[in-house]
Structure formats: structure tokens, C-alpha cells
Structure 1
Amino acid sequence: MAKLALWGSTALEVYRHAGEALPLAGYPADADLADYAPIAPSLRYLAHCLPWLSIPFHVVVFSTQQRRNLKDTRCHIVSENVAKTNFFRVAPGIVAPSPEIAYLQACARRSQEALVLEGIELCGRYALDPTSQALLEREPLTTIERLRRAAANHRDIGGCAAAKRALPWLIENAASPREAVLALLLSLPNHQGGYGLPKPRLNHPIDLGVLAGRVADKSYYVADLCWPEARLIVEYDSDEFHLASTHLAHDANRRMALNDRGYRLITVTRLQLNSAQEMDRVALALARALAYPIRFRVAHFPDRQATLRTALGLPR
């Protein structure tokens, strides 16, 4: 069987679409490193096995002798420090560095906004189906603390410095890309185009208690974005037209249950998220509720905001 070791951005793309809690199993890369020299048959196998991967493929070589001039492929020599770490089996015959190492490797070739978003995805509870882009539920592949430890232990990786700049803005537990984007818009600092609000907790469980739970017909509620100390919840609603009476009744019962527990619930729709002007209004309302005034102390904030929104895949 052809063998191949993935590097950085290609490994991250595999992890981004992994519907299970990869890595599947530790694989000692130093057992037979010579077998992982990239050759044309192994790359054809990769393209066949994972046809949705972006080109060029980025692969690991463990020595200068393993470098190849192959079409649509970039070879990256890894340090001895990285070569001694476990690589993980992501498909038959294909291994990849840990999510933490792959993230550090890719950081040298990403914008700050992309680094933060990709870090949130690794620490999140969703993956993207590579054939349909539907969301798949999974356990997080890593944590912020594990990424931080990897950056401290692998300073020889080129993207380490960029990763350290991105780590303070990562948030764990996102359940969808839009939740992650909304949290970043609200919490990134002004100089990066965000509103600079305190970071929320994502998918935070709230015990509704016995009485409130009877109203909502459940014992707990999972808040999309939550600031527990301020008893404030933001719920992202991708469907702004809820006309069914049963859905309206459910929303009303949920709000009553949360109000009974002292929480204020604010809903943000897809249309609001897609409008910079509407998000300005949402951010100001949240700032008042958090008693955390927004102060734009950077020049040309609208331009920075537009750049951030573009990087996050939103209309300017």
C-alpha cells in the first residue's frame, strides 16, 4: 500500500472534515520513515482516497533525500523534534501530525483571522461534510491549552510565533461556523475589526431548575453564546422566519424559563449577521447589557471591520 505523511495545511483540511474524533490512533512515524517518501503512486492514491483535498498537496519529508519534484505537491522537511512525535492514521496508508502540530505548521501561511477561525474549528464540536458541506457533530480534536503547550514545546516550527498571537482569541466549544464567526465579530479587538467585547462561552449549559424546566419541557438549556456572570445569552438563529405556531410557543416557553432563572436572551438572525450596520446595533445592545462600553480607539475602524468581515466570509 502507498504511504504518505501529510503536512500543515493539508493535514488541517483533513481534520476540518473529520466527522469522528480524530486522531484515530497513535502511529510511530520513526518506525519506517523511508516508506513515507512521496512518490507519484502515493499521491494518486491520496487524490483517490480524499478527492476533496485542495491542491497543491502539502506532504512531510523526513530528510533532504526524500524531497521530490512532483506535480501539484509541496514537500516540507520537518525537524527531528517533530519527526519524533506521534503521527496519526487519518486514512489507510495516510498519516498526519497531531492537530496541534498541523496547526503550528500551517500558521506561517495564514492571516490572523484565518488562524483564529481554524483554531476555533479544531476546538469546536463540528466538522464539515466534504461532499455536501453539511455539519457533522463530533468531539473537539484539541483544546486551547494543548495548542498552547504545543507552541511552547515546538518553537522550531515556523508558524509558532503566529500561533501564539492567535491563541488569546480562540474560543472553545463552537457548534457551527456561524456561531464561531459571530463570537469573533463580537470579541476580537478593535484593531482587528471586532467590537472588543468580553469573550463569550459557547454552547454553555444552563440548569433551568424544576419549575422553569417544566415550562420549557427540559431540565437544561444550551446557550449558543453566553456571558454567565452577566446572565446574558445570545442565540444565533439561521432561519429568521419562524411562522409555525408550535415553534413560536416553544420560543416563548424557553424565554419564560430563562427569564425565571434571571437570564436575558437576545436573538441574532442570519440577516443581522450579514449586515455590518445591523451588527453595530446588536453589539451596542450587548455592550449595554454587559455594562462594557464599546470604545473605538483605532483609526479607520470601518475599514478594519470590512476586512475582518471579508476574512470571515461575511458581506462587507
Structure 2
Amino acid sequence: MPKLDRVTYSHITALQIHRFMQRNLATTLASPSRTRSAPQTSVSTHDAATVLANALRDHAIGSREFRNASEALEFLSLEGVCAPLHFVTSSQGQCRRKGDIEAHLLSTQVSSDSFFELARDCLVCSPELAFVQCADRRTDFTWLLELGYELCGTYQTARTGLTTQYEVQALTSTQRIRDFLKRNPSLRGSRLARRALLYMSDGSASPRETALALLLGLPRHLGGYGLEIPLMNRPVKLNEQAASIAQRASLRCDLCWPKSKVDVEYQSDFAHQGEFARIRDSRRANALATMQWTTIGVTSEEMNSMAACDAIAEAVRKATQKQRRANPADFERKHRELRWKLELPC
């Protein structure tokens, strides 16, 4: 474990930094050897915000100077790296909040790949470590799952410190989180993080796709329909006949159960409006049908309706040939609670 005698940003702040760097650099912190190092300085926790701001300045924003930590925090907030700033330390004496800087004690041995060097005197926790830290600090399991889908998906929301954006690079993957947990089994939060991995999938392209995957895939005792977590946005290679219909060699399925050849498409208002979208959707459905795939479309309005979601879940159950099972006695309460946490009408 590296000695934590430098400012080491953690938790949500680490995810915000990774997104910031991803947006402003040609390469991300996944290649730490390619980042520039700031001049070596002596860093105190009181100056943590200024150190971070100056490190980001050195990487991305020219010759910006900050007179104090408050000015740096104001800039970081405008850039999407919001206060409070979370950092970890190996010193018990530093574990107290100082204004907009919140410290967390990390005394457990962790693997050396848990950190990236942002500057010579400034480290940042990896997305995998930050996810485990969130599992330790957050008791809301649904929130943790949504965070995991976002980290392993191609969109971002305010959970990682920025406004919602699409078609961004994933910060990590379920396999990388799984491997990290194997190397660091005794970290606080690792038990809940391992449990979350059971219900996570790579490749979600939007918060609504994530909500649909959790709603359909989570087991009944967690309020879902118990249809198993689908693969998300995985390419399906088309045969010659299907390719001639779709006019492409492969198609991506929003949510799919490949063994059962079932594709559930979230038809967002943005991506599925107009004549071009109607023709494209028809071609993809017909192409998959020639390969004995079942395509089920789900609109935003249907997701907002409990009755419609019940009918869609039943259609998916039949298409995947899942056995119908009795719901737990408290299913309705947990189902409504899940919908509420996913910001769906209940």
C-alpha cells in the first residue's frame, strides 16, 4: 500500500475528477504514466482544494492561478467537480471535516493499482476503489446499483459530478471491479460491492435503460420482476438474410437475453421519433425476426405505467420461457419502493 502522505482524493470526488479528466484530456487517468507531474510541494490538508485545482490546471486549463482554497472550490464547482471534496488519509488525526474538505481514514492494505498520480503531491483513487468506498458509505442498495451501471456504462449523470451526458467512455467495468475486489478482499464496503456485482451489467447507454434493466432483472425479493439481469448493448452478428434487411452486419440490443433470443428496446422520445427512426426500427425488428429473435419495444410512457410494465414483464417472461412463480408477500411494497428509487411513478 502506498504511504498516504500526499493528498489522495476518494469517494465521489474521485469519480468527479476522472470524469473531468476524461472530458479535458485526450487520454484519461487510466494511463497515469502519460500524465504531467506538477512541481513537488509540501501539502497540508488545509490546502487540498488548491492542490487539486492547480493539478487540474496543469493538465487542462492553462495558467490559472488561485489565491485560496475558496476560490479553487468555486472554480471546481463551476467545472462540475463539486464540494465537499473527499480525500483519504492514513492519519487518524486528520479525519475531521475542515470546511468544504472531508477526510476519511484508510488503514487497510490495498493494492498499488488503487491509486493514480494526478500530480506529484496529489493522488486520486481508482474508480474501482471509489465504488467500494461508496458501498461502505451508502446504505441505499438501489443507489449503489445505479452508480455501478453508470460507471460501467456509456453515460454520466450528477452522480459522478457532471450533468447528464451520453456516449461517453466507461470509467470501469464489472470485471475490473470484480478483479479489484479479489485483490482487496478486506476493504470496508467490499461485501456490499460484491453483492451489487451480482446485479450489474456493462454497457448501459442511459439512466432509463439502467432503470429498465433493474426493474426487469432484479429478483422479486428486491422488488424486480425476477427475469435475470440482461446483457446491455451487446452486438448481435447477423446472418446474410438479416444483414440484407438491416443493411448492416450486426445490431446492438439495448437489453438482451441471448440464450432465449429476446431483445428489449427502450424507445426513447429522442432517438425513436420521425420517419427515419420508424424505418430503422422496423428493419432491425424484421432482421432479428429472421433469426428467430423476439423484439419487445418499451416507450417512456410505458415505463411510467405500472400496469404497462407488468404486461411487458409478462411478455419477456414468456419469451424467455421463465417459469412463473408466486410473488413474495411483500412484493407490491418492495416493487413500489424500487420504482420510487428509480424515479418511476408508483
- Say yes or no: TM over 0.5: yes
CA drift of 1:11 comes to: 1.7
Q: 1:275 to 1:91 in 2, by over 3 A?
A: farther
The worse-fitting range, judged by mean Cα deviation, of 215-224 and 84-93 is 84-93
Could you tell me how far apart the structure 2 residues matched to 1:89 and 1:49 are? 19
Q: Does 1:25 align with 2:31?
A: yes
Could you tell me how far apart the structure 2 residues matched to 1:204 and 1:222 are? 5
Could you tell me how far apart the structure 2 residues matched to 1:287 and 1:88 are? 44
Work out whether residues 26 and 86 of structure 1, in 8 Å CA contact, stay in contact via their aligned partners in 2.
no
Could you tell me how far apart the structure 2 residues matched to 1:34 and 1:67 are? 22
CA drift of 1:47 comes to: 4.3
Instruction: Give the match for residue 12 of structure 1.
Output: 15
What TM-score results when the alignment is normalised by the length of structure 2?
Answer: 0.79
Question: Of 156, 180, 197, which aligns to 1:127?
Answer: 156
Instruction: Give the match for residue 56 of structure 2.
Output: none
Amino acid at match of 1:144: T
1:225-236, aligned counterparts within 5 Å?
Answer: 225-236=255-266
CA drift of 1:25 comes to: 3.2
Q: Deviations over 1:197-245 (max 9, x none)?
A: 0221111111222332222221211111111111111110112996643
Q: Does 1:206 align with 2:213?
A: no
CA drift of 1:56 comes to: 2.8
Could you tell me how far apart the structure 2 residues matched to 1:33 and 1:303 are? 56
Work out whether residues 128 and 135 of structure 1, in 8 Å CA contact, stay in contact via their aligned partners in 2.
no
Question: Identity percentage over the alignment?
Answer: 31
Question: Of 278, 290, 311, which aligns to 1:281?
Answer: 311
Work out whether residues 120 and 171 of structure 1, in 8 Å CA contact, stay in contact via their aligned partners in 2.
yes
CA drift of 1:85 comes to: 4.4
Question: Of 80, 87, 112, which aligns to 2:115?
Answer: 87
Work out whether residues 37 and 67 of structure 1, in 8 Å CA contact, stay in contact via their aligned partners in 2.
no
1:25-104, aligned counterparts within 5 Å?
Answer: 25-26=31-32, 35-40=42-47, 42=50, 43-44=69-70, 45-51=72-78, 52-67=80-95, 69-79=97-107, 81-82=109-110, 84-89=112-117, 95-104=123-132
Could you tell me how far apart the structure 2 residues matched to 1:134 and 1:117 are? 15
Amino acid at match of 1:133: T
Q: 1:241 to 1:26 in 2, by over 3 A?
A: closer
CA RMSD of aligned residues (A): 3.1
CA drift of 1:98 comes to: 0.9
CA drift of 1:290 comes to: 0.8
Work out whether residues 8 and 124 of structure 2, in 8 Å CA contact, stay in contact via their aligned partners in 1.
yes
Amino acid at match of 2:279: A
The worse-fitting range, judged by mean Cα deviation, of 120-129 and 181-190 is 120-129
CA drift of 1:54 comes to: 4.3
CA drift of 1:249 comes to: 2.6
Instruction: Give the match for residue 58 of structure 2.
Output: none
The worse-fitting range, judged by mean Cα deviation, of 51-60 and 114-123 is 51-60
Report SS of the residue matched to 1:148. helix
Report SS of the residue matched to 1:108. helix
1:228-247, aligned counterparts within 5 Å?
Answer: 228-239=258-269, 244-247=274-277
The worse-fitting range, judged by mean Cα deviation, of 125-134 and 148-157 is 125-134
Could you tell me how far apart the structure 2 residues matched to 1:229 and 1:300 are? 31
Could you tell me how far apart the structure 1 residues matched to 2:278 and 2:228 are? 31
Question: Of 152, 156, 168, which aligns to 1:137?
Answer: 168
Amino acid at match of 2:267: D
Gaps of 5+ in 1: none
CA drift of 1:90 comes to: 5.8
Q: Does 1:105 align with 2:133?
A: yes
Gaps of 5+ in 2: 1-5, 51-68
Q: 1:181 to 1:24 in 2, by over 3 A?
A: same
Work out whether residues 40 and 120 of structure 2, in 8 Å CA contact, stay in contact via their aligned partners in 1.
no
Q: 1:22 to 1:181 in 2, by over 3 A?
A: farther
CA drift of 1:120 comes to: 1.6
Amino acid at match of 1:26: P
Could you tell me how far apart the structure 2 residues matched to 1:241 and 1:12 are? 28
Aligned residues: 310
CA drift of 1:23 comes to: 2.6
What TM-score results when the alignment is normalised by the length of structure 1?
Answer: 0.85
